[in-house]
Amino acid sequence: MIDKHYKISQQITYRGMIWLLAAQLVVMLPFAFFLPIWLIPVMLVATYWRIRVIKGNAAQPKLLLNLFILALGVAGIWVSGMRLLSLDAMVSLLLLGFAFKSLEVIRQRDALVVVFIGYFLVAVGFLFSQSILAGAYGVVALIILTAALIANQQSSAQQLSQNATRSNLGLSTMMLFQCLPLMILVFVFMPRFSPLWVIPSFESQAKTGVTDTITPGDIANLAKSDELAFRVSFKGQRPAQHELYWRGLVLNNFDGKSWQQLDNAYDSFELGMYYDQHMPWSETNITQQGEPLEYDVIYEKTGQPWLFTLTPSLTLDKQVKQLGDYRIMAKNDVVTPFLLNAKTYPNAKRDLNLGEQTRRLALALPSRGDNKTREAAKQWRAESASDEDYVNKVMTRFTEKEYYYTLKPPLLGNSNTIDKFLFESQRGFCVHYAGSFVYLMRAAGIPARMVVGYLGGEWNEAGQYLAVRQYDAHAWAEVWIKGQGWKRYDPTGMVSPSRVESGLEEALSHEGSFLEGQFFSAQKFEWLDGIRKKMDSIQYGWRRWVLGYDSESQANLLQTILNKMSSIPLAALVGALFIGIFLFWFVMLGLLKRQRYESYEHQLYRKFCKRLAKHGIIREQQQTPSEFAVIASSQWPEKSDTIRSFSLIYQQICYVDNADQAHDQSFKKMRQLLSELR
């Protein structure tokens, strides 16, 4: 039976507004990690202003003031440097409207608009992060939003109940829990269709990781970050650490300071077209040798199309593009976690016959500069019996001379950088060594190119996968040898073998520069390392089995089920699942129905009777409040005024239709009278 005093008030109550503002803050908070952080103070100011309005200490903002505030918000987004048609700008505008909406919430229907926008923003948040923590936070946000929705449909008496907050949160949680079985069933069996539209990505500033133009300091900066790049699980035996060269980009052009893919500025689409026309992908250029290696990779979002694989990778997903220089590209920028299944032949020979276009790119040098290196290359090549002998001579030089591997090399300026590194500073990072090595090869007329990507990775024993992070970024060289094709050479390994065999941390142990800018990095504290690996293992499982559950995974699961079951048992299983869900709902709804609500005035009167009972004044079940007040006053004359006043107020609330605001004053008076009976 519905309490006769419960009614849907058009005017939003103070407690309902507090619930609404709390829900807004919870929804907006995670966006501070991805969008301008000043959006949160804007929300707090709007909240403070709205509370003052409810208390009567400030006036409701007028139309012109609302427009002025909105204009300031739009100007703030523009000053923040976001493009007008970008995802970040659109979401920021939506968040501004969400925050400012609280200033004009007067009626319950206004509160409904805010709650429904909040639901939409919870979903939008997964465009920025799809981690397991983001999923858990999204569930919390849904619970609080639903609790705010419930609170704004309650009367003032219900909101003032002592257990109102707990009751609202409990009911909200129970509603979500009731939806869980159907959510799982829909997730597993609902067909997955390609989206009818996608959100365009304009955020160049969101690009992370290895880029298509490299100067020596770029990879050194990446080496100071422990951000995850991708995770790999192998189908079979894991290769040795020194064999894990994750190829990303091939850089052919050197302008005297930086390395880039080509001598012109190409975007990812134009680059793919260029390689299709001049150096198309062909499996006939590969001579397969040895056993293949199969593995799965889950890439983190980078805003770039580059994917990192072992070379050469032959069996790949249809969503990727293979280029003639053996790099792998996604057909679109990687803006969400990306799963790739690949197969590689580590011992295969590549390009035994070198194309003319590829040869030209692999021999290109600037027209001037680094004369000392050019002369040295000619002299050393004349002293060598073959190209391979010359390559080994240059590699040996890095061990014979006093070269050092460091994250803190001296600056080389803008000209003659190869000369200064090879013959003066002799201190550098992998790009210094790979770049100077490729230059020496080309100066001697031997085709060579720089390859950038990642080397090695950290094995997670709990999850049985390899985690590759930004500090694993690396650069090495490829040299074309007649009769052998492209061969990998890593001059960094000659200077610092521990970088190739054991990783960056051990290679830099002598100077202590590994992750020096991150004091609380888990790699620096042994007690944090185990926790980090366990959390990372859980996150990997989430990415692989939840985010990676696509149409192909669903088809494989259904095919497995269909192969094991005939049509009749399968139909019976599906029917049983749905029947089970409906039975679960009926049981839960029946349990909820038993939880009868007790109005706040009845709760206070029950306390009133208990306090009188402690003094021996017992209320009989058939006695009305008026009759009991007369009897209690006669038995406790010192408190007769208090007893009569409390009973009178209680009866007025029960039988007189007063406004909610009047009820608030009555409840306050009843609590004061109760305190006098202690």
Cβ of 583: how many Cβ atoms within 10 Å?
10
Residue of 325, 387, 432, 474 marked active site = 474
SS3 at position 287: strand
CA distances from 369 to 235, 254, 256, 647 (A): 48, 11, 7, 100
Name the token pair of 666: 């009555």
Respond yes or no: is residue 110 known to be catalytic: no
Euclidean distance between CA atoms 673 and 158, whole angstroms: 20
Name the token pair of 422: 């090879």
Angle (deg, nearest 10), helices 14-28 and 108-125: 20
For residues 467 and 458, the answer to whether their CB atoms sit within 8 Å is yes
Euclidean distance between CA atoms 678 and 674, whole angstroms: 7
Residue of 419, 490, 536, 663 marked active site = 490
Respond yes or no: is residue 654 known to be catalytic: no
For residues 295 and 235, the answer to whether their CB atoms sit within 8 Å is yes
Residue of 88, 212, 351, 430 marked active site = 430
For residues 327 and 247, the answer to whether their CB atoms sit within 8 Å is yes
Nearest to 254 by CA among 171, 369, 345, 175: 369
Euclidean distance between CA atoms 386 and 481, whole angstroms: 10
SS3 at position 347: coil
Instruction: For strands 458-460 and 465-469, give the pairing.
Output: antiparallel
Angle (deg, nearest 10), helices 87-100 and 14-28: 170
Q: How far is CA 99 from the centre of its chain?
A: 23
Name the token pair of 492: 């960094």
Q: Give 547's DSSP letter.
A: I
Residues in the chain: 678
Euclidean distance between CA atoms 121 and 575, whole angstroms: 35
Nearest to 295 by CA among 317, 279, 274, 276: 317
Respond yes or no: is residue 242 known to be catalytic: no
For residues 6 and 158, the answer to whether their CB atoms sit within 8 Å is yes
What's at 641, amino acid-wise?
D
Catalytic residues: 430, 474, 490
